[in-house]
């Protein structure tokens, strides 16, 4: 299983773009990169998933360089409600055990 490394915490202000980078040096060919968001007292919620290059949805963008050894979750114009823990996972299609790291605690202030 590819191990992921991401910052423990980040601080930002409302209206700014936030980029959270995750390292996954041992990613395998059939692995996908998946990000989840967790608010206090709730279960994690799927945000975005990608394999390579760039993926964008209504919530975020995911940038993956050609070597796929890292990925960056980009949150445009964050608000207070984006304060949460963000988890990066490397997911093997056809795999089973999904291990979450400690995540990145994002705190957005006024």
Partner 1 sequence: GAGVSQSPSNKVTEKGKDVELRCDPISGHTALYWYRQSLGQGLEFLIYFQGNSAPDKSGLPSDRFSAERTGGSVSTLTIQRTQQEDSAVYLCASSSSTGLVAGANVLTFGAGSRLTVL
CA distance 104 to 79: 16
Q: How far is CA 18 from CA 13, 43, 81, 92, in A?
A: 9, 22, 13, 27
Q: How far is the CB of 91 from partner 1 (least distance, A)?
A: 5
Q: Which is nearer to partner 1, 66 or 93 (CB)?
A: 93
CA distance 13 to 11: 7
Binding window for partner 1 (CB under 8 A); candidates: 9-17, 19-27, 68-76, 86-94:
86-94
Residue 91 makes contact with partner 1 by CB under 8 A: yes
Q: Which is nearer to partner 1, 21 or 55 (CB)?
A: 55
**CA 67 to chain centroid:** 17
Residue 54 makes contact with partner 1 by CB under 8 A: no
Residue 101 makes contact with partner 1 by CB under 8 A: yes
x/- map, 29-48, partner 1, by CB under 8 A = -x-x-x-x----xxxxxx--
Strand order in the sheet with 31-38: 9-13, 104-109, 84-92, 31-38, 45-50
Contacts with partner 1 by CB under 8 A lie at 30, 32, 34, 36, 41-46, 49, 51, 87, 91-103
């Amino acid at each position: 299983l590819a191990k992921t490394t991401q910052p423990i915490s980040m601080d930002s202000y409302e209206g700014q773009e936030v980029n959270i980078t995750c390292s996954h040096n041992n990613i395998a060919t059939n692995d996908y990169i998946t990000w989840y968001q967790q608010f206090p007292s709730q279960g994690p919620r799927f945000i975005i998933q990608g394999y390579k290059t760039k993926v964008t949805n209504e919530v975020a963008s995911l940038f993956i360089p050609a070597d796929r050894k890292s990925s960056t979750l980009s949150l445009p114009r964050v608000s207070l409600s984006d304060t949460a823990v963000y988890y990066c996972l490397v997911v093997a299609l056809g795999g089973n055990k999904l291990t979450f790291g400690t995540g990145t605690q994002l705190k957005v202030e006024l």
